[in-house]
Amino acid sequence: MTALSGILAAIATAFDDNEQFAEAAMRAHVRRQLEAGVHGIFALGTNGEFYAQSAAERAEVARVVVDEVAGAAPVVIGAGAITTRETVAIARDAAAAGADALSIITPYFAAASQPEIEYHFRAVAGSVDVPVIVYNIPARTGVNVAPATLERLAEVENIVAVKDSSGNFDTILQYLERTDRETFSVISGNDSLILWTLLAGGTGGISGIANIYPETMAAIYDRFAAGDIDGAREVQDSIRPIRNCLALGNPNTVVKHAANVRGAAVGPARAPFTMLSAEAQAQVRETVAADLARGLR
């Protein structure tokens, strides 16, 4: 795999009311995404609450997702951790489960220097035989993958893409300027920047909002690919109300609540990330109802 394109659904991990992995609900959620036309599945990322699960739990989720997708679309598994040693172990588990690619978040909590970031990604990529995606989300990790660092990492044979969730469009532009668009994919991890990333030369988006509106998110790419830029922009603009709801609490918690409102049955986030005020819950319900009335699906 040298290129990733389209909309990859950053799927939530389904839990039951006791916060245990709910396999049947997870399989149903994966099928829902595929039937809606998403172009790939991204499991155990930020929306997948990788940070709230043990290595053994993550290995089980990866196995279930790969099994349910059954080759119908590319499967990317989030395999990041704080240390290189732990990341390598989790990455090998995910590769053994059959992942088509691995997303590796930058080390977090202890701020890594750029040389340390580069070492980390090179070591992880060298430990597996599957493609690796660099996951940049500085608001959550406290560190940013500098464009010059990414340029060097893109020279590693199996480091094939970057998922940028910085929200800084200039970072995406610099990543594009410093990498080979024929062999390296620049993907938006921010739902609001998907179309603009495509227009700039990126290849798609990894979407948390797809948990709620998978058909709508897939349509951004489909319309773009068909040359319908105005139509793609209309769809891109249509997700602004639900995106605004992410400010009501932990964004992963809001997405799960909205997905549940839509009937996805992905359950709660793991505590303590479970608390949305009654007012926030009402606003999410009202927004989803209005979105459905406007044709979002």
Question: Tell me: the pLDDT tens digits for 203-220?
Answer: 999 999 999 999 999 999
User: Which pLDDT value is given to residue 247?
Assistant: 96
Residues taking part in catalysis: 135, 163
C-alpha torsion 203→206→211→216, nearest 10: -20
- Binding-site positions for pyruvate: 206
Q: Are the C-beta atoms of residues 288 and 262 closer than 8 Å to each other?
A: yes
Measured CA distances, 181 to 5, 211, 221 (Å): 12, 28, 17
Tens digit of each residue's pLDDT (9 = 90 or more) over 18-75: 999 999 999 999 999 999 999 999 999 999 999 999 999 999 999 999 999 999 999 9
Considering the entire predicted model, what is its pTM?
Answer: 0.96
User: Which pLDDT value is given to residue 231?
Assistant: 98
CA dist., res. 270 & res. 273, Å (int): 6
Q: Are the C-beta atoms of residues 120 and 107 closer than 8 Å to each other?
A: yes
The CATH number, out of the four listed (3.20.20.70, 3.40.50.2300, 3.90.110.10, 3.40.50.300), of the domain defined by the range 6-226: 3.20.20.70
pLDDT surpasses 90 at 1: no
CA dist., res. 238 & res. 172, Å (int): 22
Which conformational region is residue 228 in: left (phi greater than 0), alpha (psi within -120 to 50 degrees), or beta?
beta
Q: In which element (H, E) is residue 205 found? A: strand 204-207
Q: What is the mean pLDDT of residues 117-139?
A: 98
Q: Are the C-beta atoms of residues 195 and 232 closer than 8 Å to each other?
A: yes
CA 217 from chain centre, in angstroms, equals 13
Going by C-alpha positions, the residue among 66, 55, 56, 73 that lies closest to residue 27 is 66
User: Which pLDDT value is given to residue 93?
Assistant: 95
Tens digit of each residue's pLDDT (9 = 90 or more) over 132-153: 999 999 999 999 999 999 999 9
Concatenating the DSSP letter of every residue in 28-76 gives HHHHHHHHHT-SEEEESSTTTTGGGS-HHHHHHHHHHHHHHHTTSS-EE
What's the mean per-residue pLDDT of the chain?
97
